[in-house]
Amino acid sequence: DTSLAEVNSFSPSMPISPSSMTNQYKFEDEPELRDLFITVDDPESHITAIETFITYRVVTKTSRGEFDSSEYEVRRRYQDFLWLKSKLEEAHPTLIIPPLPEKFVMKGMVERFSDDFIETRRKALHKFLNRIADHPTLTFNEDFKIFLTAQAWELSSHKKQGPGLLSRMGQTVRAVASSVRGGVKNRPEVFIEINDYVETFSQKINVLDKIAHRIYKEEREYLNEMKEYGPIHTLWSASEEDIADSLKGVASCIDKCCKATEKRMAGLSENLLPILHEYVLYSEILMGVLKRRDQIQGELDSKVDALANKKTEKDLFSEEIGKLEDKVECANNALKADWDRWKQNMQCDMRSTFTNMAENNLRYYEE
């Protein structure tokens, strides 16, 4: 399937079908398409009197002229990634900013600071930065460049220059106030369709996420039972000379099934679960982007209504309305372009993920 060629080269695990092998070579043969390469690796624990946290090494290689050097290496903690995401949302309210893994882990899944949790988060942070790097607009954001290049003290200094708490609270109050006033009038048909699509997508992806977790839980229970079941046959064979070989054969077979099941579970936890959950988070992000677009249009609608009701200050209102019309048009164009791009990436990710899962299942049943 040639459309798999769209799969991002930073995907943590590429499918191993013949078609995807071709795609892998295609990425290697066309390095000139990208001029910014980012790797997140080498997690490191830090323990202070106040807190315990993890930092990750972020290595950037680039041929872009606006960078002073061709290679950078910095260490970043999760809070720094959160800061970057908030700055991108602030600068580009109607673009689809990639999701970050949640700060807190769901109870019963994995322990915070466990090796599994840290590795899962590292992969997610790696994907987050590379999705930004591959985005035609976000990749040139100044805060993104500072995040990749500034030393820890420089980044800390830059963060302090951002809007203060009161300013941020003011923005939040305005946003809530505008959303309380009611839905926008005359929302363009294209955004009604996008909104309907996102609502349906959100429902379906949440169901898929729950089913995938249920499958993983059932597989884990099955594996635990098999691990107890195999040794029983080995012990049994010691007291049954006549059928000892047969019992050892069954024990060996169960052991092979255990190993195959472990591989299948690794495939689910590394390939399927993170992708589905990433798109659960994307569905929430999309709803937020659509609300922000509506808020911009709502501001324009309220000014138009105010102009119709006022006899004076028409020139002042007309100028404000002109600016707001430009703002709405920019917001609409940005979201429409990003929507098409996001939808294409999502379909490629889903196709790749489920093809990979099907191939893993075939191997599992063959084994």
Paired tokens of 235? 């012990």
306: confidence class by pLDDT, cuts 50, 70, 90: confident
Q: Phi/psi at 155 (nearest 5 deg)?
A: -65, -40
Instruction: Check whether 169 has a pLDDT greater than 50.
Output: no
Helices (H) and strands (E) in the chain, counts: 10, 3
Paired tokens of 275? 């992708």
Residues 6 or more apart from 328 whose CB is under 8 A from it? 296, 297, 300
Please give the residue range of the domain that contains residue 329. Answer: 184-366
18: confidence class by pLDDT, cuts 50, 70, 90: very low
Domain annotation covers residue 24: no
Residue where one domain finishes, among candidates 101, 132, 154: 154
- Both 228 and 150 in one domain: the answer is no
Instruction: Check whether 23 has a pLDDT greater than 50.
Output: no
- Both 128 and 207 in one domain: the answer is no
Q: What's residue 113's pLDDT? A: 65
- Both 220 and 347 in one domain: the answer is yes
311: confidence class by pLDDT, cuts 50, 70, 90: low
Q: Which residues of 289-323 are buried (b: 16+ CB within 10 A; e: fewer)?
A: bbebbbbbbbbbbebeeeeeeeeeeeeebeebeee
25: confidence class by pLDDT, cuts 50, 70, 90: very low
Domain annotation covers residue 302: yes
Q: What's residue 53's pLDDT? A: 84
Tens of pLDDT along 37-94?
A: 999 999 988 888 887 889 999 999 999 888 999 999 999 999 999 999 999 999 999 9
Domain annotation covers residue 3: no
Residues 6 or more apart from 260 whose CB is under 8 A from it? 364, 367
- The mean-pLDDT minimum among 3-7, 206-210, 220-224, 253-257 falls in 3-7
- Both 122 and 54 in one domain: the answer is yes
Domain annotation covers residue 349: yes
Write the DSSP assignment of 133-155 as a string of letters.
HTSTTGGG-HHHHHHHH--HHHH
Write the DSSP assignment of 198-262 as a string of letters.
HHHHHHHHHHHHHHHHHHHHHHHHHHHHHHHHHHHHHHHHTT-GGGHHHHHHHHHHHHHHHHHHH
Q: Which residues of 224-260 are buried (b: 16+ CB within 10 A; e: fewer)?
A: eeeeeebeebbeebeeeeeeeeebeebbeebbebbeb
Domain annotation covers residue 38: yes
Round to whole Å and give the CA distance between 291 and 179: 8
- Both 132 and 204 in one domain: the answer is no
Whole-number mean pLDDT of the chain? 83
- Both 276 and 362 in one domain: the answer is yes
- Both 347 and 225 in one domain: the answer is yes
Residue where one domain finishes, among candidates 154, 174, 192: 154
Domain annotation covers residue 18: no
- Both 60 and 189 in one domain: the answer is no
CATH number of 141's domain? 3.30.1520.10
Question: How many domains does the chain contain in total?
Answer: 2
Instruction: Check whether 128 has a pLDDT greater than 50.
Output: yes
Q: What's residue 295's pLDDT? A: 92
Domain annotation covers residue 29: no
- Both 141 and 188 in one domain: the answer is no
Residues 6 or more apart from 257 whose CB is under 8 A from it? 226
Look at residues 336, 338, 324, 316 and name the one whose alpha carbon lies nearest to residue 295.
324
Q: What's residue 300's pLDDT? A: 85
Write the DSSP assignment of 67-99 as a string of letters.
SSSSEEEEEEEHHHHHHHHHHHHHH-TTS-PPP
- Both 200 and 137 in one domain: the answer is no
Round to whole Å and give the CA distance between 77 and 335: 30
- The mean-pLDDT minimum among 31-45, 81-95, 123-137, 321-335 falls in 31-45
Q: Are 84 and 109 in contact (CB under 8 A)?
A: no
